[in-house]
Structure 1
Amino acid sequence: MVVSRLKAISLSLPSLFLLAFHLSASQNVPEYSEAEYQQCVRKEHPTISFEELKPWVSNFTYPGVHDFSQLALDANRNQLIVGARNYLFRLSLHNVSLIQATAWGSDEDTRRSCQSKGKTEVSFSFNGLCCCLLTLQKCQNYVRVLIVYGKKVFTCGTNAFSPVCSSRQVGNLSKIIDRINGVARCPYDPRHNSTAVITSRGELYAATVIDFSGRDPAIYRSLGNVPPLRTAQYNSKWLNEPNFIAAYDIGLFTYFFFRENAVEHDCGKTVYSRVARVCKNDIGGRFLLEDTWTTFMKARLNCSRAGEIPFYYNELQSTFYLPEQDLIYGVFTTNVNSIAASAVCAFNLSAITQAFNGPFRYQENPRSAWLPTLNPIPNFQCGTLNDDSPNENLTERVLQDAQRLFLMNDVVQPVTVDPYVTQDSIRFSKLVVDIVQGKDTLYHVMYIGTEYGTILKALSTTNRSLRSCYLEEMQILPDGQREAIKSLQILHSDRSLFVGLNNGVLKIPLERCSMYRTEGECLGARDPYCGWDNKQKRCTTIEDSSNMSLWTQNITECPVKNLTTNGRLGPWSPWQLCEHSDGDSTGSCMCRSRSCDSPRPRCGGRSCEGARIEVANCSRNGAWTPWSSWAPCSTSCGIGFQVRQRSCSNPAPRYGGRVCVGQSREERFCNENSPCPLPIFWSSWGPWTKCSVNCGGGIHSRQRSCENGNTCPGCAVEYKTCNPESCPEVRRNTPWTPWMPVNITQSGARQEQRFRYTCRAQLSDPHELQFGRKKTESRFCPNDGSAVCDTDSLVDDLLKTGKTSARIINGGWSFWGAWSSCSRDCELGFRIRKRTCTNPEPKNGGLPCVGSAMEYQDCNPHPCPVKGSWSCWTPWSHCSATCGGGHYQRTRTCTNPAPSAGEDICIGLHTEEALCNTHPCEGGWSEWSEWSLCNEEGIQYRSRYCEVHSPDSSQCIGNSTQYQDCLYNEIPVILPASSIDESTNCGGFSLIHLIATGVSCFFGSSLLTFVIYVYCQRCQRQSQESTVIHPTTPNHLHYKGSTTPKNEKYTPMEFKTLNKNNLIPDDRTNFYPLQQTNVYTTTYYPSTLNKYDYRPEASPGRTFTNS
């Protein structure tokens, strides 16, 4: 656009005169109101804007890479190791330029497995700010452990919820020295906080969650030459939903800083900050606490504002350790559901040791209060390893105390009563500290990262005039952009600050003395790094000063921000139509204006400089370009359309010129005479057929048909179970038989009986009932007629004729009759045979036959014959060639069901083939074959062949065989199946499957009952033979209501096959052999985990000695 300044053009639009008037008015010196005056005299801490800081900052980003959360300094090699999502980087410490980028992502199978477990992309807002919406792709490899030790880099990543660790060369990250499983060393979920440290002896101490669901937190030791140990499993008193912050290797101990739900807080739920420690030479208990820490202790960290009612900052967010001072700084915030506030406190190592030397706090049972308990072994002094007598001083009493006493009664108090820095309405996130030599003293300068992506620079001092004041606030992100700082690292030797963000890494120099041009600016900054050199007349560091006596520094009060603001022109207004005159002709043009209000001058600032109005010419009419050629038809078959276009750019209308008249796009039909073949698809499913039975579990099916062909993928018939409810119980009684005499006395009195049969069963058809239980009633009939005994005529005749003279004949059974035909032809039926009480018949009051008149027997147990039926077609295979004509095929088997002996087999083809990729080959080569197995020389190869019979000079160029070295040290981790395939084989559910399922369940339940019985017997012997005293109040039992800790409500989810200590098996590690004894060991929480990562040749025995 051609722009002319207002000086050369006479404007006639009335609105422009208003703009000119506004321009002249804005050039006057403004008069401030009382409110504006108060704004100019108020005090604020200095702020370094993004634009002012930008020249000093070095920046590193990498396309498509996010989450630069892990930073590790390697000053010996002048490099910064960075762990991000799916990548590892080596950057120069000088300017964070790229030295090496190494991809470390999850393979496709692992990501697919992660997604199948329900892990997908999750969007969430950061700290409730809708402007900070983030998307976390869980099924990626997020680096969560990055440690430089010696000439190696140890790193671990989430690997799409399949944690993995590797040891790499520090000078070449792509060179992998060793790979190990990441379980218990790295979390599954990238959102879980974790920390790790490697000691000088090569032992890895990790604090993380070690299961897929994130419900089993642990402080775990592995690698090195000592056996692995962990905290008690599923014991919320040891660790209660912790968020791990940091770990440090100090002296004989390893310290862990974290925050967790306070188990000792009995009024609601709250979070406490903790410091825990373990002895580095702890090797676990012998019977109690086996493979578990015996020296684990934890204490609360107190950071609060003093007062009659202290104000507590309970949630630890970050720590920084100054080994020269034995001082640990910590960033604390309020609970997430309260008003945002933050503080910085510092703790001496001696104060932490004093708390661990004090009494414990102990709860006898879940209903008891937490009370102080004397420390039976002050400081749990770390023992020594002795090859001659392992675990010498670990008595039963010591182990019992170690199991129940771990929470200290005393709180670790900070160095000062009040925090060094407090700030309301904001949450701090990260912290590093630098030690600076001032003119008269040493200063501790704190760099504090905030949730908004700014860095606060403050002094750690006991001087009340400097308490809670900031030296400056650095805006490291552009205006309008907010992002939490993921990592802070400080390099003292280079005085540099490295910042890890979601999208990159920044390097910021700690001292920027040259930005202060005058003595007033230099001394007014109150910066411990800077002072005014009276000889050189410039602001320098103490190292660059010409003479200490001539170097001045003034740090006596908080710095104050200069609120003087110079005016800056605002954005241009929209273009407006206006007229211009150059003396000979008049015409139209476009005009725009801007004001001095972004910002306007305030507190004595200068007014804006520059043009306030711009005018642009407008004189060109537009013209069409030639039509383009017709585009290809939108369809390959059936009616489509073609388009062609032209544009109004020959020339384009400019500055109000006339636009082109007509259409810029034309369309026409194509392929009118090329109809498309009918699509092949499944019809809708038909209705379900009637269930095969009315109750007790049956089967029904439905069908669909393949329209316009027979190549639809899938099955045409679908089966499912129906009417699973149990059949109602049917009960039937036979009529009573007549009363029959069974015993007649000489005097005429008699004993009579009658019978009936009762049968009941859960059957869908009542006619299938069989005789069951017999019921008998008896009565006594005296001869004096005092009791009425009604009998039928046959009995009366018997009594009249044979009462005194007939001989009593008892009944006897006849021979059994022939067996009846079987009730079923196959799959187990029954048959019966009968006999009668006629050999002889009971007469003259004789006894009836004893026993059953009917006998049952199983028959025809063999399975029923089955006609064969085809299974569903498999999917089409890959084409055998990518070009030049190949074929693919699909198959089916006669197994749905398979035919039994003597029955019909399936009729039809079991394999179908079709042509594919019939287009000619361009390069002539086929696809590469799979890599072969490694030969004795460690080489594998793959090959391809030329698919063109007579290739020309442009075809089949290159080698037909490729060779490469085999990759070693890749140890696959075989995991159990994560889920059960719930899909059913189409058409494959039959009565045979029902019977097989029932039989399998019967034998499986019998086996399970036997195993439980053996286990109970073993536990009974164990309690008789072991002398170990078990805890009297295991906190995993008898919880009620909502007070049960989350760990006690544990619901089993998918777990990998873990061993004794919930640790993963490692194929290349040696196991620590234990001497076999006849004593059965018992622990508080029986582990399912195994020892690994232990080399027995390095330490054949182990001893724990108290000192």
Structure 2
Amino acid sequence: MGPVAWVLLAALGSHISRTVSEAVVCFSDFNEQTGGCSDYLGDGVSEEDCCLNIMYSFKREAHSRCEACRAAEWSQWSAWGPCTVSCLEGVQKRERVCTGQGDCDGDSVEVQACSVKDCCPKEGSWSSWSPWSPCSVTCEKGTTQRTRQCNNPAPICGGICPGSSIETVSCDTRQICPTHGQWGSWGPWGECSSSCIVEGSGVFPPQTRKRECNNPAPSVSPPGRSCGSESHQSKDCTVLPFCPVPGGWGAWKPESECSVTCGIGRIKEKRFCDNPAPKYGGRYCEGPVTRNTMCNTKVGCPTDGHWSSWQPWSPCTRLQDVINCSQKVGTQSRKRVCEEGRFEGNWCESNHKESRNCYNVEGCRLQGKWSEWSAWGLCLPPCGKSERTRKRECEPIYPDYPDHMLNQLGKLVDVFFSGTPNVHCDPINKETLKVEEKRECRNVIAC
């Protein structure tokens, strides 16, 4: 921690008096997908101080799990994982993480059926080998080869034929080829015998390079011609650097005020590579030029309120009148609550209450019609013996009442059916309200 941060903490002495057991490691960000802490701020602060900003996170020990400051909530579902089989039908799963303080309702794992390929690979068989090809050279030894096709029968669904489609063997022409020598390329210049000199000495070491008569080398029997001429070259190293002086870091010095006005922030410090400064190509100081140290404002960060979910609609009524099972229009309303505003954050925008016009069909006997089959549901439970379900439901056929009307201000508004009617559909398998179909999930992950 830098000098400025110590001054701030000393001025707020109550923090320093806290025991080590109350301290946490504080971070300014929380990854909802992985449940991990990021953007380290520092340690030695209390959980209460770190969570003055509810978007922060903390660890109780350096290697313990990350905890978010805000209330518990589910992360987004992960992408669906790979199918448990590469062909035919299997299952795949996805997961989510409960983050924050408290518990989340619901499951952390979902499993659904999947199929990568409708068939499984099947191997094929090879055809007969072709005749051997002519030898690849006209003197000395070469190679000859033969081939075969994977078509007897051909593989299906991505299968293969085991083994190779080509077979190669050596062949001998029993003829000798003479080879004359040729120079290879010059090799790189060798290093100078010394990498640096003392200023003013005037001593320049030599450097050499060579080449080989191997492009190709001359044959012995029958004999080939040699390369001749020179195989080595030498020259002086005319330019060498002075011996380098590595640099060293000076002391850290503060460069900024605390980065935030609420919660936990940072103070920036800087240092210079001047103790000593590097010379003659000497190594520059390794490590960062600046660093951030933690500072504590002891001030909570404002958090704006947010709306809760709407409460259920109230019963559809009209003052001093019975409107149940009739074309008479009533009204109903519902409410919601502004939650979790902190430290003088802004109040929720928009309205906390809304109303609408309605027909009351609570308990009214209505003819119904069967819905189409729903999509197949998730595999439950997500491991072991598991099955999925789809269903059809008896849906009401509402009366042909007008779906809009003019209100007292002369504005056209919608009218909704409200309540749970007594619906009747023609029986399917002796069921009049709901029918279900179940199917076993295959290749489910073991528990």
The two structures share one fold, judged by TM-score above 0.5: no
TM-score normalised by L of structure 2: 0.26
Structure (1 or 2) with the greater helix fraction:
1
Larger RCO, structure (CA 8 Å, separation 6 or more): 2
